[in-house]
Structures are given as structure tokens and as C-alpha cells.
Amino acid sequence: MGTAQASAVAMLCAARRGIPVALHTPSEVKAAVTGSGRADKAQVGAMVTRLLRLSAPPKPADAADALALAICHIWRAPAHNRLQQAVAQHARHARQAQHPLHASKGRPS
């Protein structure tokens, strides 16, 4: 519960300052880095070491987790941004379709 509360405070502070926040589940991070959402800490550490061409796994294991999260975000952010743009574009088109000047009903022929 403490971790959830701390992350909520961080997200609130970021939102108040207009800083974008992205959330990734543990299994999403593991899958992005290792190819399996069920990877253990040793596998995550090994892949982070390999991907970043480090001479040794990051210590402590939480450091490897943080790096794995960053890698996941970097790899997934472009797709997430494209999805957000598509949703925004759809919303713009929907608003335009509802605008009286764009509606097909009631237009003079």
C-alpha cells in the first residue's frame, strides 16, 4: 500500500506541473525487456546488462528494474504516442461531424 501511495503522490505532483506520466505493469516491463512477462529478477538483470552493454548487472536489483522500466518506456512510447494521436484525431473528426456546418442533414442540395 505504501508504494501505491507514494506513486500516487508522484503522479499528482507531475500532473499539477503538466508533466506527462506513463504507467507500465511489471509484466509489461518484463515482456518488453526479456520477451516474457513472467521473467524473474535475474533474467531482467541479465537482459538489461546485455541491452545496455554493461560489464556487470546493475546493483542492487532495483536498479536493474528501474533501467528495465526506462527501456520499456523508450520502446513503447512511440506506439503510445501514435495511439494518443489517433484518439485525438478521431475526437476532432467526431466533433466536426456533429458541427452544424459539417452535418450532412439540413445542408442545401
- What are the distances in angstroms from CA 95 to CA 29, 85, 108? 36, 15, 21
Residue 61 near residue 46, CB atoms below 8 Å = no
Tens digits of per-residue pLDDT, 3-28? 889 999 999 999 999 998 889 999 99
Write down the pLDDT at residue 100.
Answer: 63
When pLDDT is averaged across residues 59-85 and rounded to a whole number, the result is: 89
* Of 12-21, 54-63, 82-91, the least confident: 82-91
Q: Decide if 11 is inside a domain.
A: no
Cell (9 digits) for 19: 508533466
Cell (9 digits) for 60: 542492487
- CATH no. for residue 48? 3.30.420.10
Q: Decide if 48 is inside a domain.
A: yes
Write down the pLDDT at residue 78.
Answer: 80
> How many domains would you assign to the chain?
1
pTM of the model as a whole:
0.69
CA dihedral of 34, 39, 45, 50, whole degrees rounded to 10: -20
